[in-house]
Structure 1
């Protein structure tokens, strides 16, 4: 079993104390089956659930993750300044038309650590989230993963995983520059899916919506 999951499980057990799993899950605002998995070290929580547990019990996320070597009594309380809210758009990464930041509605909010935004050099007003759909980017991305996207105009040679519009399809693919054709290889990380080259003469078919900078796994 992963040591990080064991550490998180132990911290939860300390927080739960003599409460039932059901009562503890209700206190935290987390579904009971998810809490059961967390307590037994079977799954890692989403960021939203981690923050819910943190807030409900007035402890820091560092302490919950076992990275803070302090007692429960001395655990720092998380405040709103520790994270930033970004919009989640309704578009999914394997379907839809156009640029999701212009055509799709906001369906929710995603909480990102403010330190992560600064570390990645992201601007709140130019950052959003969408969900991955399908299996073309497995194992890098799984169906249902939440993708944090930097929507600023991408400068220079592109190299990485991007949310793109190719013709009328919204996709998430790995882009790699091809010097010979001055175009881009459009790559699926799943070997069962085909890759192809988009040469310079066809680049008008491609619009880059933004670069994937962070992935929240669907657990």
Structure 2
């Protein structure tokens, strides 16, 4: 993957147009188009602006992840907030550097923090399509009512899980989507509890 391809990948992961990405990088849209096309490389000022937005510049330039204790991995798994999405691969596609107090505010152990992309609208207004859901992956089983990322019968979901009597229900925040029961708990594999969200724009 080239520098231009990595820049394009970052932009797509953020859910931004080339115009909006140019605003983030504080450069002209034509310049950004040239970076993605591989016609030129971003200069120091543009790289600095990207770094201030939490983008791993070492990965942009070399393809190597510059992991710090405040960096979370963003995984190439789209968790559906509407219908099921089969897991295809779980590799790291980018990283994000978060402020020091982020982990304390949201109660996420640093070494268990990870980001996954949201797909669909059923968890609005909490999560929107292409948002990054930040998971606490130390939570691997249902502990109390809350929002979880989980795999069920081969599909990935982000839903509120709620215990109703002896039944575990998967609930959407968007009233247009009906709740459904987890009928076979042996098929439920919790990936983590959703503790925070990073909006796409």
Fold conserved between structures, TM > 0.5: yes
Change (3 A) 1:32 1:178: farther
Give CA-to-partner distance per residue, 1:139-185, whole Å, 9 cap, x none: 22110101111001346632111101111001100111112xx2211
Equivalent-residue separation in structure 2 for 1:97 and 1:203 (angstroms):
19
Q: CA deviation at 1:97?
A: 2.6
Q: What is the aligned partner in structure 2 of residue 90 from structure 1?
A: 76
Task: Point out where structure 1 has 5 or more consecutive residues left out of the alignment.
Answer: 1-21, 34-47, 54-82
Aligned residue in 1 for 2:196: 214
**1:96-128 superposed Cα distances (whole Å, 9 cap, x missing partner):** 338xxxx51000001222211123332222111
Structure 1 distance, partners of 2:142, 2:177, is 27
Distance in 2 (alpha carbons) for counterparts of 1:31 and 1:217: 22
2:167 to 183, 186, 198: 183
* Partner in structure 1 of residue 104 of structure 2: 118
* 1:43-62 C-alpha deviation (Å, 9 max, x unpaired): xxxxx969349xxxxxxxxx
- TM-score normalized with structure 1 length: 0.58
Distance in 2 between residues matched to 1:121 and 1:93, nearest whole Å: 22
- 2:37 aligned with 1:51, yes or no? no
**Partner residue in 1 for 2:119:** 133
- Could you tell me which runs of 5 or more consecutive residues in structure 2 were left unpaired when the two chains were aligned: 1-18, 30-48, 55-68
Write 1 or 2 for the structure with the bigger share of helix. Answer: 1
Q: Secondary structure at 1:139's aligned position in 2?
A: coil
- When Rg is computed on C-alpha atoms for both structures, the one with the higher figure is 1
Q: Indicate how the Cα distance of structure 1 residues 115 and 191 shifts in structure 2: closer, same or farther if over 3 A, else same.
A: same
Report the Cα offset of residue 133 of structure 1. 0.4
Q: Residue 195 of structure 2 aligns to a residue in which SS?
A: strand
Q: Distance in 2 between matches of 1:178 and 1:50?
A: 45
